[in-house]
Amino acid sequence: MSSPHSSNPLKHVAIIMDGNNRWAKKHGLPGIAGHKFGVERIREVMTECQKLGVDTLTVFAFSSENWRRPPKEVEVLMGLFLTYLKREAKKLNEGGVSLRIVGDRARFSDKIRKAIVEAEAVASTGATTLVIAANYGGRWDIANAARTLAAKVAAGELIADDINEDVLNAETCLAGQPPLDLLIRTGGDVRISNFLLWQAAYAELYFTDVLWPDFGPEEMHLAAEDFYSRQRRFGKTGDQIEAEDA
């Protein structure tokens, strides 16, 4: 797909994968079935993103607030996460995809933390990157970056007056990835639920009623088409952008 605004190609997509439980209920299945179908969708959407020329796909797998869910559901989600890490790392690497897990790992079990390290090592050479946000929260990300900078100032490694947006950004979880272009939420809710608060400042937002287990390559393609139908101004006027693209 070619962009009408070639200066702003779609390079980084993030997805809030919502609607697994509702999908399962709709189909008369237990909630775990929705989560299992949802995991399978990640591979298909990742492949479509590669076709679209996307460099990074970031998916919201488990938020820092999701620990409040019923203990049995949390247990199931942790089991699925562990299975995914062990099963998918080699497949991702063979498909040219590198894997990164971002978020606070401290609350995960030793088994999951070990699996994260091993999976990232196996899938580390791909030109495209899949980022899985697990036990992640946007406020936590910003606070963690601020805490890191404060420690550097206290240690004399940094002067407070030198802290700017670029310096703080370098300490966030997605440092080194392209700026976020498109944030998608499936499932019908119109909010970003503490996901990538810092990174989403100038991202295009796309909300769809499609439940995540039903969100496949075609839906991803439609979201990309919508992205390219918009004029991204970044504070400039429409006339300025049109003149630059002429």
Residues marked as catalytic: 18, 66
Residues with Cβ within 8 Å of residue 135, at least 6 apart in sequence: 62, 63, 64, 67, 103, 104, 105, 107, 108
Q: Give, as one character, the DSSP assignment of residue 212.
A: G
Beta bridge partners of 62: 134
Q: How far apart are CA 135 and CA 138, in angstroms?
A: 10
Residues with Cβ within 8 Å of residue 129, at least 6 apart in sequence: 55, 56, 57, 97, 98, 99, 100, 177
Task: Identify the three-state secondary structure at position 101.
Answer: strand
207, 145, 148: which is closest to 175 by C-alpha?
145
